[in-house]
Amino acid sequence: MKELSLETNSRVEMIDITAAVQKAVRDEGIKTGICVVYTPHTTAAVTINENADPDVPRDILAALDKAVPLSANYRHAEGNSAAHVKSSLVGASEIVIIENGRLVLGTWQSIFFCEFDGPRSRKFLVSIIAS
């Protein structure tokens, strides 16, 4: 398992971590298997979507902001319930297939770390299982 750190820069943000995950796979020297990308935070998430057009992550964040308003009579005293809800909606992990030492991603797919309560110091874990 590899632990990777990153700094987020805004309240909500999607950061492309594909290259870092691919490097972790390469460093492991595994040819075929699966790769789990997981974040151990309750106000962040991991997802796969398009990054060829930067408007896609922008639209995803805007849609999540609309679906889960910042304030809505939440009870959680810390004041970041919207971030907790978004984290559960998007999910804490993704699984990617590894073939010939490469992540099997579609042409337009990237792996994103999603920040919903930044800016903060964050981490994500990459665990690789050979098959």
Residue 53 near Zn ion by CB under 5 A? no
- Return the number of the residue (28 or 115) whose C-beta is nearest Zn ion: 115
Contacts with Zn ion by CB under 5 A: the residue count is 2
The residue number with the shortest CB distance to Zn ion is 78
- Return the number of the residue (75 or 131) whose C-beta is nearest Zn ion: 75
- CA angle (75, 80, 83) in 5-degree steps: 115
Task: Give me the least distance between CB of 54 and Zn ion, in Å please.
Answer: 29
List binders of Zn ion among 64-103 (CB under 5 A): 78, 80
- Return the number of the residue (22 or 80) whose C-beta is nearest Zn ion: 80
Task: Give me the least distance between CB of 43 and Zn ion, in Å please.
Answer: 6
Q: List, in order, residues 6 or more apart from 31 with CB less than 8 Å away.
A: 98, 99, 100, 101, 130
Nearest alpha-carbon partner for 112 in 55, 27, 39: 39
- Return the number of the residue (42 or 109) whose C-beta is nearest Zn ion: 42
Cα separation, 52 vs 68, in Å, equals: 26
Q: Rule CB under 5 A: which residues touch Zn ion?
A: 78, 80
